[in-house]
Each structure stands twice: as structure tokens, then as C-alpha cells.
Chain A
């Protein structure tokens, strides 16, 4: 009797300790985002304040993002800024949507081919893609920039150019998807083939319906990627802020030049961050289950 009770007590003690740890972890992890949210509503000027909760709450930062204005340090007036947030947001959203569709197709198709179909160049191809992935991405940028320029896809047509570049090499991200396909038993394939299906029908009618988690995982990944691309987007826009995407624009907002010209540059950055994060966060929460299934299924056997 005595032993059992102490064991339970030990377990309760451990659990309590774990709850404490988890709470601390949650606070540390969430703190910067709460800070971000608070700062996006801050009305006082300046980059940072010594206190956490803003003394003046205002929606102005959000409004100014869309009207392209900002509070200048020089005379405290609301002046036009170079921030064209709606334009950047729209462009990035469009790019993300198109890239999602095309990239998902390409990744699924490549993963299936490498996973299920057997052909002579399969292993060498996988090794090749592994190797190619190790070259630093931006070294290719100059070459790609000139290639796109040749095709007339910079500056004015940079949306198309960016999309092409993003999807062009997307087949190298087959790893997790292929791992997932590997876990689908081959017997299903064989049964279908016995029934007379050709390989294409096997892919579309048998495998894909079973792959909902990985499809959603691929869609989520493809959607999230273009939002964060700073280097290539800034190169292809070549200084013209009409062709920036959200990442470039937001980075410019916290450069010293902007921070010292506008008193609310940091707050507007926070507001922009909130706006950018919301759709992705919402999508993520809705599809979280599939995302996890996708990762674990795909990572299980590589």
C-alpha cells in the first residue's frame, strides 16, 4: 500500500513539474508573437519602447499600410511612404496560389515516378537531385536573372518570371512525398494492374485518393514558400518597388534608413507581419492533422 501511494505521488510530482516546464515553454514560444501583435497596435512613435503593453492603442498602423502613408520623424506628420503593401501582398498571393498548383503537380508526379516506377536511371537521378540541391541557391541567381531577361520576364513581367523560377526546380523537393508513397503497399498496385489498369490509371485512381495527407502537406509547403523569398524577388525587381514581394518590402521597412525616417516603420512592420501570417496560420490550423500525417508518413522511411 505504502509503495503504491508513493509511486502515484511521484508520478503526480513529475506531472506537475512537466506542466510547469510546458507552461514556461509555451510562454517563451508565444511571447514574441504576442509582442508582435501588441506592437502592431502601438501608437507611440519610435522603434522600441521600454514597456510591453502599448500606452496608445490604434489601428493606424494597419490603415497606413493600405494607404501607403507613415508618420515621419521630421515633423510628426503623416506623409507618403514608399510602402505599397496591398500591391506586394496581392502579387505574393497570386504567385503563391499559382506556384501551389503547379508545384504540387510537379512534386507529386516526380515522387510517384521515383517511388513506384522502376527505370534504369532512377537511382542515379535521385543522387543527381541530391547533389544539385547542395549548390547554394543564390549562385544560380545571376544566371537565372539573365535567362529571365532573355525571355523578357523581369521587371514588368517579373510575376511570371518568379513563378517560373519557383516551380522550375521544385521537383527536387520530392523527398518526403516519395517516402509517403513508399509506405503504400505494393499489393494495391498489383491488384489494380491485374484488373487491367495501365500505370497512369493506377496513379490517378488508386494511389492519389489514398494520399490526401501528403497532398495537403505538399500544398501547404508550396503555399508557404513564396512568402519568404527575399533574395531572388529583390534581384528580379531590380530596385523598382512596384515589383517587390512581401518579404522584400517588409525587410526594407526595418532597415535603418526606413527606421530613422519614419517613426512608425517598426509598428507598420508588425502590422504587415500580422496580416501576412494570418492566412497561413489559419490554413495551417485547419489542415494541421494532414500536415502531421504527411510529415510522419513521409519521414518514416525516408
Chain B
């Protein structure tokens, strides 16, 4: 029996706040939309001349007004145009699959219809043996796999529920004079093989679909008395028109096996109860529990072991975002400043200054970070020299957080400086010359020429760095190991400088809470994915990709 549960928990508050913020935002957008639609005509974009002649205050007012009027437009397009378009495309895609299948079935001749059962038949019948063989081999391989191994795994995969799986059995083995063990089900292996089989099945279905499509296409070619490509021509095609297939075959295969498979496995894991109390092959196997883990996160759950996952998740999320913002922007601005002052005309020994900073990139990052953690440790150099025991990385104040950001600056500035230096060298000098002739001082030159150019060019990189910092495992883990343990009870071992990702690491490797860790990963992923998809796809670089070539 649990003790008095808290009346309203941190996680519930987080959920309520989250939902109300969304509701509020929607209301604001709707309002602006209405206002915008009504007053759209009354906002007129100013011409260049008018902008130039505006005073600074007017310009600011104009820009603000323009932004406000753009928001409803943006929201409107997103809601009314993009999302329906996406949905329509997806729906069309699905319908298209079934249409093709229907066409092939209805309009296909006997050769095509046979291809439904025996893959590659259409090609055999038309004397294109190479392609036919490929498809046929795929079918044989898949059937063999399913019969020998996969079918069994798939069955156990879907029926892995409580009471349905048996772990191990202890029995006395007279031969060896010891207690021996017989193993039955192993839920982890069931999960893994099940996932693999599912992936193979999906791949096979895709191959089967392609087979049908190709069979029908071959039939159409034959009916139109056109030439069906031979094997030799296919190979020629592969290095020319279809070269992307050749090039991407191996990378995508690697991606499939080493990235997609683990991610799907991890998603399935989030719906089980695999943790330290439910390991794979003893008596307490783990089983499917549906979406229970997700509720635990949001209801400030008394998850496994009295840990208030909801509250911890919220706190860590806040620090992760704060950290990403500070880490990215301090590096960016300071790196840019350093690059600019090195690049200034009157400074000599430019190469020397750059080399000194670049040296820190050359040393492997983990060495630098481990070294820093040792230097600032409780027994490290700084403390021993000054005879103190200041917990630079272990104190319960803002100190570890500040130290982490500072050390990250130390690690990160050379990268930014390098990048910006290269860009600075590319800015045509005559821009500066003409500005000087027009009487612009150095600060103004910087603001009008240098800064916009650099910003424009490095925005994609900035976005990528920001997203990378959200998941920046190495810096935090190697420096503080997650920092001092949080002081509140029920923190589940999370620390004060823990990012979501380092806490995740602890959950997985120290506490073996695989299921909860998967849930947290999925939530983290949703957050970062939404942010970066929007940012990346809207960034000017992508829009102007074609222009640049």
C-alpha cells in the first residue's frame, strides 16, 4: 500500500502548465488570425526608400508590426496549408500502393498475376533472368528465414505477456554433481529477434510490392512493344541515371541495421517494463505493459522505486534548454569576437594566435575534458594550490553549472573561431573600403557588413550546434558525471548538472531502468525533432540551395 500520495504532484503541474500554454498559444494565434485577416489589407509593406528614410524608432515599430502580421500568416500557412498538404500526400501515397496492386491484379496478364505468388515470375517469362532471379532469391530467403526461425520469434513476440512466459528452472543434475539450470524464454532476445523479424518482414513486403510494380511495368512495356531493359542495360543504368541507388545502397543498409533497428527496438522497449526488477531470463521476465510508462512520467508518477519521474524530467528539461542556449550562444559570440579581433588589420602574427587556439581541437576532446575535471576536482590542482576544497564541480550552488559552461567555452571557442575566420577571409575587402569611404567607423562596419554576413552564413551551423548541445553528453558526463545529486527526496539519482541525456545514461547503465529510459528518450526526441525540423526546413540555406550552385 502506498503512503499518502501527494495531492498534486510536480508532474501534474507540469502537464497542466504545458496544456494551458498550448491552449493559450492557440487562442492568441486564432485572435491574431482573425485580426490579421480583417486588417491584412491595412498593413502595407514599405518600400526600400521608405525604410531608409525612417527614423530608428519608426523602423522598430515597422518591424514589430510586420512581425506581428507575419505570425498569423505563418500559423495560418502551417495549419491550413502545410499540414493538410502533408496529410494529403501521405493519404495519396497509401492509396497509390493499393491502386497499383489493384491495377496489377485486374489488368495484369497471367504472367503478372503469377508474380503475386512467385516473385520475379514476370521477368522469367519475359526472358530477363537476372532481375527475376534477384526477386525470386529474395522470396526464397525470406520464406526460409520465417520457417526456420522468424515465424516462431514473431509469435512469441506478440504473446509476451504476464503469465505467458517462463524463465528458468533449477534442477539437480546428478552428472555434474551440482544444481543446474534450464532456460526457457528470454524476453530480451524475444524482443530483439521479434524486432529483427518485423523489420525483415517489412523489407520483404516492400520488395514484394516493388516486384508487383515492376512486373506490371514490364507487361506494359511489352504491350507497347517497347524494349524491356536487359541485365546489361540495368547495370549501365546503375552508374548513370540510377547512380544514386548504387551509391546509397551500402550506406543505407548500414543505416538500417545500425540506426533504425535499434531505434525501433528502443521504441518497443518503452512499452515493456524492463528494469532492474524484471530482467530477461530469470523468473521475473519483462512483459508488455502498454502505455503505462508514459502515464508514470506525466502523473508525477511514483514510478519504479518512489522516484518522481515527472518532476525530475521537468527540472532536467529546464536545465538542458538553459544549458543549450548558454553553451551555444556564448561559444558563438565569443568565438566570433576572437576571430574578428585576430583578423583585424593591424594585428600581426595572425597565424600564431590561430594555431594556439586550434591546438585545443587537435587534442582529443575526452582528454581535455578529463583533464579539466581533474584540475577542478576536490583534490585537483586548483584546490591544492590554494589550499581550499571548493567544490567547483560538486557544490550545491550555481557554481558547477557556471563552471560547466565556462569549460565548455574553453573547449568550444576554437571551433567557432576557425569557422568564422574562414568566413571573414572570404568577405570581399572592397566592401569595407567603400564603407570607409562613406565614412563608417569600425563599429558600424562590423554591425552592417561583418555581422550580417556571418550570421547569414552560419545560421544552419548554429542551429545544428544548438541541437547538438541539447544532447551534449560528453562535456557534462566527463566533467561532473551529472553533478552533485539533487537534494530533494525521490530524485532517482539525477544530479544538478545532469542533462536529460546524462540522466538517461545513468538510468540505463547504473540503474538498469531500460523501459523508463526509453520513454524519456522518446519524449526528448519528439521535442528536439520538432524544433530542428522547423528550423532546418525554414532556414534560408535550404530554400536557396539551388541558387547557390
Direct touch of chains A and B (CB < 8 A): yes
Which of B260, B381, B508 counts the most chain A CB atoms within 10 A? Answer: B381
Residues of A within 8 A of B (CB): 11-12, 14-15, 18-19, 21-22, 25-26, 28-30, 32-33, 35-36, 47-52, 106, 109-110, 112-113, 117, 119, 122, 127, 129-132, 134-144, 146-147, 150, 164-165, 167-172, 175, 182-186, 198-200, 203, 224, 227-228, 230-231, 247, 250-251, 254, 266, 269-270, 273, 276-277, 280-281, 283-285, 288, 291-293, 295-297, 299-302
| Partner of B385 from A50, A170, A297 at Cβ < 8 Å | A50
A-B contact pairs, 6 of them (CB 8 A): A18-B347, A48-B374, A132-B255, A135-B525, A228-B366, A302-B541
Residue on B nearest A235 in the bound complex, by CB: B509
Interface residue? B83 (CB, 8 A):
no
Q: Say which one of B12-20, B201-209, B239-247 lies at the interface with A.
A: B239-247
| Partner of A25 from B188, B357, B514, B536 at Cβ < 8 Å | B357
Whether the Cβ atoms of B471 and A117 lie closer than 8 Å is no
Q: In whole angstroms, how far apart are the Cα atoms of A273 and B458 in the complex?
A: 33
Whether the Cβ atoms of B366 and A143 lie closer than 8 Å is no
Q: In whole angstroms, how far apart are the Cα atoms of A168 and B251 in the complex?
A: 7
> Beyond A47-B374, A146-B188: 17 further Cβ-contacts under 8 Å?
A29-B356, A49-B381, A130-B532, A132-B259, A134-B532, A136-B501, A141-B508, A147-B261, A168-B259, A269-B370, A269-B374, A270-B371, A280-B364, A284-B362, A288-B355, A292-B421, A300-B423
| Partner of A302 from B367, B380, B533, B542 at Cβ < 8 Å | B542
Interface residue? B524 (CB, 8 A):
yes
Instruction: For B189, list chain A residues within 8 Å (CB).
Output: 146
Instruction: For A168, list chain B residues within 8 Å (CB).
Output: 254-255, 257-259
Known contacts A109-B248, A288-B358; decide if A186 and B549 are in contact (CB<8 Å). Answer: yes
Of the four ranges (under 10, 10 to 19, 20 to 34, 35 or more), the interface on chain B belongs to 35 or more
Interface residue? B143 (CB, 8 A):
no
Q: In whole angstroms, how far apart are the Cα atoms of A139 and B260 in the complex?
A: 12
| Partner of B533 from A29, A130, A182 at Cβ < 8 Å | A130
Whether the Cβ atoms of B347 and A200 lie closer than 8 Å is no
Instruction: For B504, list chain A residues within 8 Å (CB).
Output: 136, 138-139
Residue on B nearest A110 in the bound complex, by CB: B251
Whether the Cβ atoms of A231 and B265 lie closer than 8 Å is no
Q: In whole angstroms, how far apart are the Cα atoms of A141 and B518 in the complex?
A: 12
Whether the Cβ atoms of A199 and B239 lie closer than 8 Å is yes
Instruction: For A130, list chain B residues within 8 Å (CB).
Output: 532-533, 536
Instruction: For A184, list chain B residues within 8 Å (CB).
Output: 549
Interface residue? B361 (CB, 8 A):
yes
Whether the Cβ atoms of A280 and B362 lie closer than 8 Å is yes
Whether the Cβ atoms of A292 and B374 lie closer than 8 Å is no
Q: In whole angstroms, how far apart are the Cα atoms of A250 and B365 in the complex?
A: 13
Q: In whole angstroms, how far apart are the Cα atoms of A109 and B248 in the complex?
A: 7
Q: In whole angstroms, how far apart are the Cα atoms of A280 and B362 in the complex?
A: 6
| Partner of A109 from B251, B259, B260 at Cβ < 8 Å | B251
Instruction: For B254, list chain A residues within 8 Å (CB).
Output: 106, 167-171
Contact with A along B333-344 (1 / 0, CB 8 A): 000001001101
User: Which residues in chain B, 358-379, are within 8 Å of chain A measured between CB atoms?
Assistant: 358-368, 370-372, 374-375, 379
Whether the Cβ atoms of A139 and B517 lie closer than 8 Å is yes
Whether the Cβ atoms of B341 and A22 lie closer than 8 Å is yes
Residue on A nearest B526 in the bound complex, by CB: A134
Whether the Cβ atoms of A285 and B362 lie closer than 8 Å is yes
Residue on B nearest A183 in the bound complex, by CB: B548
Known contacts A130-B536, A199-B239; decide if A11 and B260 are in contact (CB<8 Å). Answer: no
Q: Say which one of B210-218, B429-437, B460-468 lies at the interface with A.
A: B460-468
Q: In whole angstroms, how far apart are the Cα atoms of A143 and B192 in the complex?
A: 7
- 5 residue pairs, one from A and one from B, having the closest CB atoms: A296-B422, A168-B258, A140-B262, A302-B460, A171-B251
| Partner of A143 from B262, B357, B459 at Cβ < 8 Å | B262
Whether the Cβ atoms of B471 and A136 lie closer than 8 Å is yes
Known contacts A117-B243, A288-B358, A296-B426; decide if A32 and B368 are in contact (CB<8 Å). Answer: yes
Q: In whole angstroms, how far apart are the Cα atoms of A146 and B191 in the complex?
A: 11
Q: In whole angstroms, how far apart are the Cα atoms of A68 and B509 in the complex?
A: 29
